[in-house]
Amino acid sequence: IIAAYKQRPQLNEMFFNTLTHLTAARKAKNEVETNNVYLFKVLGPLFTGFYIANQAPAVIHGFISLGDFLSTSSAFRSISGDLVEIYNVLLSLNGIMGYLQDLTYLYNLETDVRMRKQALTYATARTTEARSRALVNAKQRQGMRSSSISSASSQSAGCAFASNGIPLALNKLSFFYKASPNFHLNKITMNIPQGCLLAVTQEAEGCGRRTLLSILGGKLVPTEGFYFVPTWLRILHLSSLPMMLPESLWRNLIFGDPDGEHQDPEGMHERVMMILEEMEMHTSMEWLHNEELVEKEATEEEVDAWRWVETFPYTELAKIHLARAFIMNPEVLVLQRPLEHFNAAANSRDEILRLIRKFVDCRGLALPKSQYHRRLPRTCIFTPESVDEAEHADIVWTLKKDGTIAARPGNRSRKSMAEVSATLGIDLDATMWPEGGEDGFFTEAEEMARRATVLDVQGEPEEWLVDHSLLSSRAHASSPGLTVHFSKNVMDLDETRMAPWGILICGRSTGDGWVRLEQGGYVPCEVGGVQVLFKQTEETRKGRQRLSAVQQARQDAMRKKSIRVVSEPEDNLASRMSIRTNDVDIVQFGTPIFYIEQDAEHIEISLMRLGKQKGQAEVFFQTQDASAKAGMQYEPTAGSAVFEDGQSEALIYVKMVDDGKWNPTLEFKVKLTDPKNCELGLYLHTCRVKLINNIAFPSNRFTEYLANGRHGIEEIPKAALLLEFMKMMWKAPGVKWRTITTLLMDQVDNLYLYFVLSVNVYYADVLFHKGEGHTNFLGFSVGLLVPGDRDDTAKILGIMYFLPILAIYACAYLKIKVNLRGEIRVFLRTSLFRKYLNYDEDSRSRVRVPDMEVALMQESTDVADGFIKVVDLMGILGQLLVLIMFTLKKSPTSWWIMLVMPLGMILWAWLQTKRYAAACTKCGDLEMALMVFVNESCANYEIIEDFGQRMQANDLFWQRVEQYDKALRVVNLVETNNQAFPKWLGRSFTGFYIATQAGSVIRKNTSLGTFLATTNVFGSISDGFGKVYKLYMSVSALLLSLTSLTYLFNLPTDVKENKSALAKAMEWSRTTRREIIAAHMGKADFITDLMPIELEYVNFFYTPGKPILQDLNLSIPQGKLVAVLSKHSGSGRSSLLKLLGQRINPTSGRVLLPTHLRVVYVERDPMMLDQPLWQNLVFGDPGAQRERVMDILEHMRLF
């Protein structure tokens, strides 16, 4: 719907605004967390500094040992770190509370289990009672049989089992939706005999037919009363919309009977193929044969295993939807509009009706005739598309506006029974019809009385409005009224009598689409499938009064605006308006959208002038930013376009700027304003220019790999891919200066670390040294800060220990404000969303909804975090450099430790990388499979419920959760080992250093301060290497997300194809328009309206070698209503409409539409956006006036 209404820019803008709000909220959250975390981080240095200032003199004077002093100051730092950890845990718990509340809400939503239990309790009691009665009646009938009738003859009867005579019953059934407390169904009491075909029609739209079938199919529970079905009968409700599971074709077909494959594989296969043959599903049969999906399921490696859905014709999918039900073979089958997807003209509907009829008569399809009497009757309830189709049924129900039902027998019920009896050699029982007494069952007297009166038209005469407003664009509307018929035969006309449009007639409904007049004769309720007779009720009279008042108000408003209403009919229901403001020409763009390569020098944008083209006309134009920005992708341009006398076209030029950066499908606008001697087009006063970027993601370095699709991308060296991504992001807007700022802020921590290490040396070598001690700091010899006063020096040292932490906090806060991570995340998400909206059909079919959800919400975040982790890695490497330099300066003999420790870490990383990457890959794949399963289960819940596969779906979900949990445990185990190794390595070298260098301190070769500082440094170095290793492993895992994004960003779009098609169409439009103007100048105001819509040698196929359309040549004049028929289903009618609607492009040939025309392709299935009703109505024209929208709704009777 987004593509059809050309609203990609609107969705891009909505997505960007949503991301902006999300980023701002995330930044505010991070600010609060940073403030709270640094409160505890500040407390540690604050109390440590205070302790140093107050207790250092105690050490100097011998009251506290140096060891106790150093241990206590170290404990303060540890306590500060522990408080930060505790606070982080509390924050996590606080965040979890929101999730817990959500889960509490979801877990406590109402289920239908109690209502279904109540219904089942009623059905069980009713079943026991009815079965007992049926058995008693059967014994009575058996006793009355003649002794000459053999037991074999008895088995030939229509009801081999007495319980087959128990009907389905509706007992005082009423229903309403919570949102609308008015009853849709009102106290219905009806019977449905087993083994019948029931058609449900309705007097008018909105009577509740769909709701009734949902109740009959077990989807809804009645608000009042009961619906009784014998408890041993299986019910299947089949929706009108074909639904396919993300499985192989074979799995879709046997979804309702998965156990049949295990019990009798060969028999199951044979029966399925027989049903497909019966339904003429040759495409499905060929697919099953070629792919051998009967013997094996699609494996996980076969990523496109279910892409058969994209290649099958729509009618074939509709047949699969039905075949799945026939294969399941339920005893009660409820079909919501099963014929709407098939071609009535090509007799496809008749074939489907024949199969439904056969399903009922033969008690299932493709089953042995010899077992007919051992099978239970099959009951089918369906909604037909026309009155004629309803006549195939045994019983026809007509749902009335007051929520009640009128019942009658179908015209073909006797014939059907006779045909089946002759075919099977069985005397079928056809004696039971609907309706009945209070208990829901029939007595013989009730049955005879009902048969005598069911075809008679009962009740008082009613008023009917003869209204042709819905026929306003049809040929029938030109007639003066409805011709009366002698009988209910469309050919049996009484041409001497007519009911004119707009009058009220008096008559009775016959219940089958006709009204019998009081004066004799019949008139049809519909003409050409469109309703023309409307029963007058209090509600419709009020509706007409409201409509008349609104029409009058609209006319008054127009008169105030000096707009003339042309030919306003007297009949308000059929009123149409034509608005004309003045007689000047119209200037607008030649097409709504233009395409240009980003490395082109400039773009030509065409303007067109409509009208008499006399005199000079002028408009002002200017460029406007959208996703493309002036100065970065194009040069801002403004000026005037002048049309001289007789000039019909003009060009404006906008220079392009090639910044050499990767940017997917950016666009900007050009807008017309200030018309002189003309007026602007109603819609094409603004056009969009879409830029085609030929740079691959992340660069053109991997072109050969990208050509091989996903497998080629997975073979790209991961380090090279990461490097190119880093270089690409370095060029992205706003990233470079944010990265540099972040790197500089990280170095403040390293400076503070060096200061702390120097302070530790200063303690032992100067402050607590008995003599006049000195230490070296940055090449300077430093003694007491206050010469001769150790106590004051300790106080100054305590203050200096605390103050730098404030600078560190300021840097952390500044990093949040800079928001490097958020900038990259927004860039990746908006780019990917924009890319997805421009995918071609093939690319879009390859990307599932969960794939996009994960890519937008998780993988883009992972890749942004990967960039940040690389930046953090630079900071940690700087920290390690400081520690190593300090160690080598203070203890040069430890150089070998500084060499061996990183080599050990590198070796361990080399050994663990592949294992960790494999574990992460498997875990990610299983997580994606789980998300896909959940998404598809929610999307296809209706089919899971209808086919009774909730338990199977639960089992499959549990299996996937178990597999994912097992893989996650492996990842956690590897991560635990990886985190433990650096700590073990650091402790080992620290212990070795103590054992080997303590003697040097005793012998006075090494100062105590240097020794203590060096031991602390070893721990810090091991922690630093641990952080480096952790970041390295994280980045390695995140490379999987980068690989996935690389695949998604490099899938083909339709932009180049659309550009090529537009270039051809513009050339044709320009040439054709000039020819028409030359031939018809002065003969009409808008000569451009004479340009036709043409198809030239159009060929199209989904699968090579299997053409759908071949060498198609057509010419369609503008302003015509064109109906497209086909001789048989699957002939390509849907594909042809998609070509005309510019949803797809032809394989070869040209579809030529005048480029200034806007095209909308409307799918057959209703689609609604998750937006308010108003936004859905005006989605294609956000600036639509409310008055016009309401007028359209009233003309469509959407009160």
In tens, the pLDDT along 350-408 reads 889 999 999 998 899 988 887 887 889 999 999 998 888 888 898 999 998 888 888 88
Per-residue pLDDT, 604: 93
Q: Average the pLDDT over 260-268 and give the result.
A: 74
Per-residue pLDDT, 1079: 78
The answer, yes or no, to whether residue 1123 has pLDDT greater than 70, is yes
Q: Which band of pLDDT confidence, cut at 50, 70 and 90, is reported for residue 419?
A: low
Q: Which band of pLDDT confidence, cut at 50, 70 and 90, is reported for residue 433?
A: very low
Per-residue pLDDT, 141: 60
User: Between β-strands 504-509 and 514-517, what pairing exists: parallel, antiparallel or unpaired?
Assistant: antiparallel
Q: Average the pLDDT over 578-600 and give the result.
A: 79
Per-residue pLDDT, 396: 92
Greater pLDDT, 925 or 1060: 1060
- When mean pLDDT is compared across 531-540, 655-664, 738-747, the lowest value belongs to 531-540
What are the strands, taking DSSP E only, across 581-637?
Answer: 586-589, 593-597, 602-610, 617-624
- 692: part of which helix (H) or strand (E)? strand 686-692
Per-residue pLDDT, 412: 57
Per-residue pLDDT, 336: 93
Q: Which band of pLDDT confidence, cut at 50, 70 and 90, is reported for residue 540?
A: low
Separation CA 327–CA 546 (nearest Å): 51
Helix 735-762 with 718-731: angle, nearest 10 deg: 110
As a dihedral over the C-alpha atoms of residue 468, residue 472, residue 477, residue 481, rounded to 10 degrees, the angle is: 20
Place of tokens 């075949």: 323
Per-residue pLDDT, 771: 62
Q: Are 955 and 937 in contact (CB under 8 A)?
A: no
Q: Which band of pLDDT confidence, cut at 50, 70 and 90, is reported for residue 937?
A: confident
Per-residue pLDDT, 455: 34
The answer, yes or no, to whether residue 450 has pLDDT greater than 60, is no
Considering just the CA atoms, what is the radius of gyration of the chain in Å?
A: 40
The answer, yes or no, to whether residue 730 has pLDDT greater than 80, is yes
Q: 999: helix, coil or strand? A: helix
The answer, yes or no, to whether residue 713 has pLDDT greater than 80, is yes
- 181: part of which helix (H) or strand (E)? strand 180-192
User: Between β-strands 780-782 and 775-777, what pairing exists: parallel, antiparallel or unpaired?
Assistant: antiparallel
Q: Are 257 and 328 in contact (CB under 8 A)?
A: yes
Q: Model confidence over 612-648: pLDDT tens digits?
A: 888 899 999 999 998 899 989 999 999 999 999 888 8
Q: Are 946 and 334 in contact (CB under 8 A)?
A: no
The answer, yes or no, to whether residue 416 has pLDDT greater than 60, is no
Separation CA 323–CA 790 (nearest Å): 95
Q: Model confidence over 811-867: pLDDT tens digits?
A: 888 888 888 888 898 899 999 999 998 888 888 878 878 788 888 888 888 898 888
The answer, yes or no, to whether residue 1102 has pLDDT greater than 70, is yes
Q: Which band of pLDDT confidence, cut at 50, 70 and 90, is reported for residue 44?
A: confident
Separation CA 672–CA 681 (nearest Å): 9
- When mean pLDDT is compared across 406-415, 822-831, 1032-1041, 1146-1155, the lowest value belongs to 406-415
Per-residue pLDDT, 779: 57
Greater pLDDT, 8 or 589: 589
The percentage of the chain sitting over the pLDDT mark of 70, rounded to a whole number, equals: 83
On average, the pLDDT of the chain sits at 78
Indicate yes or no: pTM above 0.75. Answer: no
User: Between β-strands 686-692 and 593-597, what pairing exists: parallel, antiparallel or unpaired?
Assistant: parallel
Q: Model confidence over 189-224: pLDDT tens digits?
A: 989 999 999 999 988 887 889 999 999 998 888 888
- DSSP codes, 49-65: HHHHHHHHHHHHTTSS-
User: Between β-strands 197-202 and 395-399, what pairing exists: parallel, antiparallel or unpaired?
Assistant: parallel
The answer, yes or no, to whether residue 157 has pLDDT greater than 80, is no
As a dihedral over the C-alpha atoms of residue 628, residue 630, residue 634, residue 639, rounded to 10 degrees, the angle is: 120
Separation CA 635–CA 651 (nearest Å): 17
Q: Average the pLDDT over 882-903 and give the result.
A: 73
- When mean pLDDT is compared across 90-94, 229-233, 651-655, the lowest value belongs to 90-94
Q: Which band of pLDDT confidence, cut at 50, 70 and 90, is reported for residue 1084?
A: low
Per-residue pLDDT, 449: 36
Greater pLDDT, 303 or 875: 875
Per-residue pLDDT, 7: 76
Per-residue pLDDT, 380: 95
Q: Are 759 and 753 in contact (CB under 8 A)?
A: no
Per-residue pLDDT, 670: 95
Q: Is 57 exposed, middle or buried (0-12, 13-18, 19+ CB in 10 A)?
A: middle
The answer, yes or no, to whether residue 956 has pLDDT greater than 60, is yes
Q: Average the pLDDT over 539-544 and give the result.
A: 54
Separation CA 683–CA 1065 (nearest Å): 20
The answer, yes or no, to whether residue 693 has pLDDT greater than 60, is yes
Q: Which long-range contacts (CB under 8 A, 24 or more apart) does 1071-1079 make?
A: 1072/1154, 1073/608, 1073/648, 1073/1154, 1074/648, 1077/613, 1077/648
Separation CA 1066–CA 592 (nearest Å): 12
